[in-house]
Amino acid sequence: MKKVKIELEQKLTYSEEMVVGVPDYLSANDLSILVEGILQNRPDVSPKDVAYILENEYELKIDKQSFNFPEQSSDSETEVFNVYDVK
Helix or strand holding residue 86 (H, E): strand 75-86
With contact defined as beta carbons under 8 Å apart, do 61 and 21 qualify?
yes
Q: pTM value?
A: 0.70
SS3 per residue for 4-16:
EEEEEEEEEECCC
- Residue 19: predicted pLDDT: 93
Contact status, residue 69 vs residue 13, Cβ threshold 8 Å: no
Q: pLDDT, tens digit, for every residue of 19-70? A: 999 999 999 999 999 999 999 999 899 888 999 999 999 999 999 888 776 6
Q: Under a CB-based contact definition with an 8 Å cutoff, are residues 14 and 74 in contact? A: yes
Question: Facing residues of 84 across strands?
Answer: 5
